[in-house]
Structures are given as structure tokens and as C-alpha cells.
Chains A and B, each alone.
Chain A
Amino acid sequence: MRAVVGEVVESLSASLERVGALARFLGRLLWLSPGGFLRVRLLVEQVYNAGARSLVIIMTCGLFVGMVMGLQGYDLLQRIGSEDSLGVGAALALLRELGPVVTALLFAGRAGTALASEIGLMRATDQLAAMDIMAVDPMKRIVLPRFLGGVLAMPLLTAVFITISIFGVQLIGVQFFGVDQGQFWSQMRGAVELSDIREGLVKGLVFGIACSLIAVFEGYNSLPTAEGVGQATTRTVVISAVTTLILDYILTALMI
């Protein structure tokens, strides 16, 4: 019994320690970040890695999420004879929830894992230690640009995802099922407010900060072995997904 309690206490304090280390890591990154924006060359490269290279998967998934919403939304709404509201329903759901959350999950899977394994491998092959010896701060040279690149890319990816999804809904609802095009767009324009769009983009930004932070943190603190890199990658995806969904609840409660 005592052994079990001891183990629980041990694992709890280990998780607390990790949370504390994460917070300190974030503080350090935020403290350094004004300087990070000055190193444009590095930043552009990382926006390319996190953003431009995620574009294809984001656009493909966005289109299909939108098309599924078109199918499901039409099927649901035509039962109560209000299929004209398809545009409003889909646009609000995408802007406020689905867009940022699905983008963040895809981002964690596509860009987050790449960041974690890249930095983890640098750790495992002593590249980070070598930089330290050369008096190059790996936080500034390696971690910070990757973090900022992810943070900048996420809101843009979210916007692209939502836009493509709305076209997907339109494709199925209007072109396939014959929902009235004027009603589809005019009701959407009547009901969607600027605050809905802001909610989507703010969520995208916050998820971007969370997912990028977790990815670089896990990579930077991975065990310097092949197994450690693998673990860091897995943890990145799992923790990012859980964090995204928890943060989503908190942000929704704050902004609704």
C-alpha cells in the first residue's frame, strides 16, 4: 500500500516538474522572441517548413471536412425543411470549432512531429551540445525560429482550412443537392459576424502557440537515443491533441 502511494506521489511530482519545465521553457521563448523576429532568414525558412509544407494536407482535409458537413448538414436540415440554413450552420461550426481544432490536430501531426524529431535528432547526435560549445545558443538558433514559424503559420493555415471547407460545403450543398445559392450565401452573410471570425483566428493562434511549444519542448528535452526521439515524437502528438481539446473548451467558455 505504502509503495503504491509512493509511486503515485512520485509520478505526480514528475508530471508537475514537467509542467513547470514547460512553463519555464515558454517564458524563455517569449523573452527571446522579439530578437527572433529580427532573424528573418531563419524565420522564413521555418514558416515554410511549418506552413507551406502543411498546405496540401490542410487543403485536402479541409475540402473533405467541408464536403462531409455538406452531406450531413443537408441530410439533417432537410428533415425539418430548412436546408437553406446549411450555409450558416456550416460556416459557424467551421469558424468557431472545427476549423481551428482540426487544423491544430493536423498541424501537430504534420509539423509538430517534424519539429520534435528534428530537434530530438540534433540532441541525440550532440549537435545541440556542439553549438553550445561554439557559443551559439541553440535556443536562439534552433528552437526559437521553429517555435515562431509554427505560431505564425497556424492562424494562416486555419484561415485556409476554413475557406476551403466552406467551398466544400458549397460544392455538396449547392452544386450537388441544389440548395438555393442565394439563400446559402445571403443567410451566411447575415448570420456570421466579425467576432466569429476573430474567435476562429484567436483559437488558431493559441493552438499554434501550444502545439509549437509542445513540439520544440519535447524535441529539446528528448532522451539522446533513437528510442528517445521516437518517444518525443509520440508524446508531441498525444500531448498536443489533448492540450488542443482542453484549451478549446477553455477558449470557447471565455469567448462565447
Chain B
Amino acid sequence: MRPSRAIDISTGLFVLLGLVSIAFLVTQITSKEVGFHSDAYRLKAQFENVGGLKPGAPVTMSGVTIGRVERIRYDMSLYKAIVTLRIDEEYNQIPNDSDASILTSGLLGGQYVGISPGGSEQVFKNGDRIEFVQDAIVLESLISKFLFSQAEKTPASQAPAAAPAPAPATQE
């Protein structure tokens, strides 16, 4: 018999590693709870349309990340999307009339929730609902609005197109 125990063990390890990699790829394990050391509290917000918002997206105030989107689900009785935000305990002085809006970072970037503070004396507590919200902007509806408003004034827009052409001739 050859000393094949070592070969068996390393082959087993290799196969195991390969299968673990496949499992990782298939489930796309996300990072462990993203960078939060301290406790957190949860707020809820109802949106008509969350656009491309995903769990794990940042929640920001003035551009500073203060939490994450924890969960998005659709409520069949309200016909609205319920977004659960997980806010770092450090930021527990947010006025309870603050508003949340779904914004996009960059032209093609991911979407996130921006919170801008209101003027109330009271602050949000765990489980509170954010009253004032602004939905994600759907590009198609924005474009169609723009096109329809343009279409109404087409006769006027044809005239300026011809005007700039003669200008370069004056240089000669």
C-alpha cells in the first residue's frame, strides 16, 4: 500500500473548497452586518414606489451614512411598499417630522434613502413611522412628461434650428 492518506485528505479538502465556492457563488453570501458596532433602532416608511432600492442600501443625512435599508416588502392592504430602515443608535436625535426620500447616487449609481431633518422638538424612537416621504423618481415617467410638454410647443422650436449656420462665414 502506498502512503495515500495525505492524498485523500488533500483531495477531500480541495473538493470541499470547490463546493464551498460554488455554494458561495450560488447564494452570494453578503458581508456580515455592514460595519455596525453599536446598537441600532428601526424606522418604517411607506412609499408608493421604491424604484431600484435594495436591502443593504445606505440611509444618509446630508450625505453621511447613518444606517441601512433592512427590509423592503409590499403591503397588500395599503398597496404601498414598506421600507424598514436600520439607523445607528448614535444618531438618535432625528426630529420626528423629518422626511425620507429615495435618491440616486450618480447617473447610473445605486439608490439610497436620504433623510432631511424637520423642525420638531420630538425625536424618532424605535418602530416609528416616517410620515413625510418622497418616492423614487421613475426616469420613464419623467421623460414622457418632458416630451409631452415639448410636443405642445413644437411650432416654436423649429425656427431657431436654422439660425446659427451663417455665423462661421464671417471669419474669411
Contact of A82 with B by CB under 8 A: yes
Selecting from A10-18, A19-27, A114-122, A155-163, the interface stretch reads A155-163
- Chain B contact patch, size range: 35 or more
Selecting from A46-54, A222-230, A243-251, the interface stretch reads A46-54
Find out whether the CB atom of A186 lies under 8 angstroms from the CB atom of B25: no
Pick from B13, B52, B55, B106: contact of A52, CB below 8 A.
B13
Complex-state Cα separation, A155 to B8, whole angstroms: 19
Contact of A6 with B by CB under 8 A: no
Contact of A185 with B by CB under 8 A: yes
Pick from A80, A181, A190: contact of B106, CB below 8 A.
A80
Find out whether the CB atom of A194 lies under 8 angstroms from the CB atom of B26: yes
Q: Given that A47-B11, A80-B107, A84-B110 are contacting pairs, would A186 and B18 also be in contact in the complex, using a CB cutoff of 8 Å?
A: no
Contact of A201 with B by CB under 8 A: yes
Find out whether the CB atom of B28 lies under 8 angstroms from the CB atom of A189: yes
Q: Interface majority SS on A: helix, strand, loop or mixed?
A: helix
Complex-state Cα separation, A162 to B22, whole angstroms: 9
Contact of A137 with B by CB under 8 A: no
Q: Given that A82-B107, A185-B30 are contacting pairs, would A159 and B14 also be in contact in the complex, using a CB cutoff of 8 Å?
A: no
Write the A173-215 contact mask toward B (1 if CB under 8 angstroms, else 0). Answer: 0000000111101111110101001001100000000000000
Question: Which residues of chain A have a CB within 8 Å of any CB of chain B?
Answer: 41, 44-45, 47-48, 51-52, 55, 80-85, 95, 153, 155-157, 159-160, 162-163, 180-183, 185-190, 192, 194, 197, 200-201
13 A-B residue pairs with CB within 8 Å: A47-B14, A48-B14, A81-B105, A153-B14, A157-B18, A180-B65, A181-B34, A182-B56, A182-B68, A187-B110, A189-B30, A197-B26, A201-B22
